[in-house]
Structure 1
Amino acid sequence: MANTGHSTRTIWLSRHEDGMLFVSRGSGPNIDSEASDPSNGISMIKVFNIKNTTSPYNYSRDGLVVGWGLRNSVGVTEHPVDGGIWSVENSVDNIKRDGRDIHDDNPGEELNYHGSLSGSASQLLGGNHGYPDCFAAWTPSEIPRNTGLKVGSQFAMGDAGGRIDDAACAQRVAPRITFAAHMAPLDIKFDPSGSNAWVTFHGSWNRDQPIGYKLSVVRFNAASGQPTEPSDSRTAAIDIMANSAMDQCPNGCFRPVGLAFDPKGRLFVSSDSTGDIIVVTRRDGAPVGPSTTVTQRSSTAGGAGSTSTQAGLVGRYAPCANNAFAGLAAYCMFVA
C-alpha cells in the first residue's frame, strides 16, 4: 500500500457488523491515473473481515469495495442508528478547465454516502465517486462551459472533447453534501444520537485566501440517517469553533484534526498546529446534542483556564457556537 503521496491510512472498526474493518487509501499524486481502475486498489475504501482470516490480506485483490474514485477520504465513520457508511474527501488541487485556473473555489470537498454493510442500503456499496476524472462543483459560475451545473454536480476536468465529459460524470455517484474547496476535512464523527455529524476542517494550503481551520457540524435526521440539507446546499456545514482571524494560519492558529467521543458523550478535538486538545460538551454534562445555552472556557498561556463569554480561546478562536447553531450547547476548554 505504498504511495508517493497521501501516505496515511484511516481505519474504522464497524460498530454494526462484528469483525469488519474499514481501510481507506488515498491517491499517490494529485491526479492519479491508476485510480481509474479499481483493481489497482488506489483511492478507495475497502472493508475486511478480520474475525475469520488466517492469513494477511492483499489490499488490491481482497476485501469488499465500499466506494472507489475517492481521491483521499481521510475521515470514515458509520451512522450510529442505521449503520450508514460516510466519508469526507479531500479533493484535487490546482485544477484547470479549458486552460482556465479555477482552483480557488473548485472543486468542492465532499461528504459521501456509501450505503451500509447490511439491509437494503447494501446495494449502494462499491459505487464510483468519480476521481480521477470527475469532481464536485462548489462555485459553478466560475467553471467554463457550465451547462447547468449546480453545487455538487460532477464535472470533468480538462478540455472539451476529452476522454470523460460532464454527461459521463453525471453518472458517477455525487456527494451527498459538498463543502468549499480546500477546506481539507480530516475527520467525521456522529454524536451518540445521530443528529449531528461533526467534521474537522484542517484548512487550506493552496488557496489565495485561507479557508477552513474550523470545527463544524452537519445536521442529520437521526431516523433517516441522512442530512437535513439538500445536496446542493452551500450552508450545510455549521461552524461551531473557528479562528477569529486567520492571519497566523496555518502554523499559528487552531487547526483541528482528530475527533473522539468518550463514554460520557464529550467530544475531544485535537489541533496539530497548536498542540491543543479541546473538549466540547453540553453545559449540563449530558452527551453533546440539542438544547441548553452556550458557555465556554478560555485558556491563558501557562495558566489555568478562565471563564469567558465572547473573547474566544486565547484570542485566537471565535466564540464556541455564537448562536450559529440554534439549540446546540457547547462548553469548550483546553485540556493538558
Structure 2
Amino acid sequence: MRALVLLACSLLLQPSYAFRRSDWKLPMGFEIALYSDTPVNSARSLSCSGSSKRGGPIITYVGARSSEPQDVVALVDRTGRGKAHYVQTIIKGLCPQPNGVAWNKGSLFLACPSQLYRLDNADSYALSKKAAPLSALKLVLTLPAEASHGWKFIRFGPDNKLYIPIGAPCNACKPGSTLVNGRRWQFGSIYRVNRNGSNVTLVAQGVRNTVGFDFHPLSKQLFFTDNGRDQISDNVPDCELNRVSKEGEHFGFPFCHTRPAGGSNPRPYLRRPGRGTNLADPDLNRLETVWKCNGPGLRFTPAVPALGPHVAPLGMRFYRWSAAANFPQGYNNSIIIAEHGSWNRASPIGARLVRVRLNTTSPGKVVSHTPFLSGGVPGDNGLPGGPNPPATRASSYLGRPVDVEQLPDGSLLVSDDEANAVYRIWYTPPPG
C-alpha cells in the first residue's frame, strides 16, 4: 500500500514536459537550466531569503496555486553552486492557492486567498529539513475571500511595509467593496500594511488584477503589472505595466483600458515601446459616456507601456546590478516581466519573459521593450512576428512563466506552474 501511495505522489509531481534547452531562446551569452531536478508542483511566487549568501546557503521560497490545499516549499542551495540541493516542504496543506510569499526580517509571510500569515524563523525549517507545524503560523490579516482573482501576490517595499493586491471579483464590472471583520476593502486595488497587519492604507485603485510588482531601485516608486479584461477581441485590450506616483492613484479599470499607439493590431507579439492610447470599455463605458478615456483632464493614469493583448503579465523584478552581479551592467534597473500567456486567444501569446528598459532620467518613459526568454509557446523564436508556424489553442504550452527572482550572485530564477519547474538563468561573458 505504501508503495502505491509513493507511486501516486511521484506521478502527481512529474513535470508536464521534459526540459530541453533547445526549446528556449535567450540573448547571446545567457543560459537556462533547471534549478531543481525535483519537480516543484504548481510553482508560483518566489521570494529569496534575505539571509542567503553568494556562497550559500541560498533559500528560495515558492508559493503554489491549485483548487486543492497546496504546499509552500523552499529550494535550498547549500553551497551557492547554482542549483538547489533539495526541495523542502515548509508549510503543508494550509490552504488552496497559497500564491504569495515574501521573506522579511527572518519571517516568511504567506498569502492565502482570504488570510495573511506569518511564519517566524522560516529559514531554520528549511535548513533542518522540517515542515513547520501549522500552529507556528500567526494570522496577520483576514482578507476578502472572493474566488475570482482571489489569489494574492505580496511584496515588501523599501519602507518595510507589506503590499497586498485585492483583485477585481470579475472579468469586467464595477468592482465595489466588501466588509471583512469590520474593515472595508476596495476591490481592484493595492494596499499597504505594517508587518503586524495594522495601518491598512489604499495605495492604488482601478487595478483589475495585479500578480506582480516591484519598486524602482532609485525613485522607490511602485511599478506593477495588470492583466487586461477578456472577451472583447483577440487583440484588445492590452495588458499593462503601471507606475504609482501618488497615493490612491486610479489606473482606469473598469471604464478605460489600454491599446498600443497606432491602433489595436500592430505587432501584437511585441508592442513598440512607449505609452499607448486608451480604449473605452464597450460594456461599462460605451462611447465614453461614464469616463473620458483620451485627451486632457483624465481621472486616471494611463499605463507606462502597453505590453500586448492577453499576454497575462505576472511577476516582475527590477534587475539590481552590482560589480558582483552575474548579468551585464546594461541590465541595471531593467524590468524583467514574466508573461504567463493567454488562455482563450485563438493564437496563444506570451509564455515568456520580456525586458523593459526605462529612461534613466524619466522613469515613466520606456526606452525599449524586447523579448528576453522565449519558447513557452511552441515555435516562438522571440521575433515580432510571433511563433512560426503560428500556434493554435490546440498547441500545448511548453512552459508558462509566473515569477522571477534575483539570487545573490545576480542570476535569475523563473517559476513555471505549467512545467512544475523552477529555472535558473545566468550569463557567461565571451572569452577574452
Same fold per superposition (TM over 0.5): yes
Is 1:211 aligned with 2:352? no
Out of 297, 306, 310, which is 1:182 matched to? 310
The equivalent residue for 1:8 is 151
Q: C-alpha deviations, 1:48-107, integer Å up to 9, x for none?
A: 122xx5xx55xxxx6222210000011111112221110000010012xxxxxxx21111
The equivalent residue for 2:223 is 86
The 1:248–1:105 alpha-carbon spacing in structure 2 relative to 1, beyond 3 Å, is closer
The equivalent residue for 1:318 is none
**Aligned runs of 1:118-267 on 2, under 5 Å?**
124-138=246-260, 141-142=263-264, 152-158=276-282, 159-160=286-287, 162-167=289-294, 170-193=298-321, 194-222=332-360, 224-229=362-367, 236-243=368-375, 244-245=378-379, 246=391, 251-267=396-412
The equivalent residue for 1:65 is 202
Out of 416, 419, 423, which is 1:271 matched to? 416
Is 1:46 aligned with 2:191? yes
The answer (yes or no) to whether the contact 1:81–1:223 under 8 Å persists in 2 is no
Distance 2:362 2:294 in 1: 30
The 1:129–1:248 alpha-carbon spacing in structure 2 relative to 1, beyond 3 Å, is closer
The 1:224–1:156 alpha-carbon spacing in structure 2 relative to 1, beyond 3 Å, is closer
Partner-residue secondary structure (3-state), 1:160:
helix
Give the aligned length: 249
Q: After TM superposition, give the deviation of residue 29 of structure 1 in Å.
A: 1.1
Distance 2:314 2:402 in 1: 6
The 1:209–1:260 alpha-carbon spacing in structure 2 relative to 1, beyond 3 Å, is same
The 1:247–1:5 alpha-carbon spacing in structure 2 relative to 1, beyond 3 Å, is same
Partner-residue secondary structure (3-state), 1:73:
coil
Q: After TM superposition, give the deviation of residue 213 of structure 1 in Å.
A: 1.0
Out of 233, 239, 252, which is 1:109 matched to? 239
Q: C-alpha deviations, 1:6-55, integer Å up to 9, x for none?
A: 111111111x213x110012111101312499x651011111122xx5xx
Distance 1:163 1:72 in 2: 22
Compute the TM-score of the two structures, normalised by the length of structure 1: 0.66
Q: After TM superposition, give the deviation of residue 163 of structure 1 in Å.
A: 2.6
Q: C-alpha deviations, 1:267-318, integer Å up to 9, x for none?
A: 000111112221112215xxxxxxx59xxxxxxxxxxxxxxxxxxxxxxxxx
Q: Percent identity?
A: 24
Compute the TM-score of the two structures, normalised by the length of structure 2: 0.52
Partner-residue secondary structure (3-state), 2:211:
strand
The answer (yes or no) to whether the contact 1:4–1:29 under 8 Å persists in 2 is no
The 1:255–1:75 alpha-carbon spacing in structure 2 relative to 1, beyond 3 Å, is same
Distance 1:84 1:249 in 2: 41
The equivalent residue for 1:305 is none
Q: After TM superposition, give the deviation of residue 265 of structure 1 in Å.
A: 0.9
Q: After TM superposition, give the deviation of residue 154 of structure 1 in Å.
A: 2.4
The 1:215–1:67 alpha-carbon spacing in structure 2 relative to 1, beyond 3 Å, is same
Distance 2:417 2:392 in 1: 17
- Across the aligned residues of Structure 1 and Structure 2, the Cα RMSD in angstroms comes to 2.9
Is 1:34 aligned with 2:171? no
Structure 2: gaps of 5 or more residues: 1-143, 179-183, 266-273, 322-331, 380-390
The answer (yes or no) to whether the contact 1:105–1:138 under 8 Å persists in 2 is no
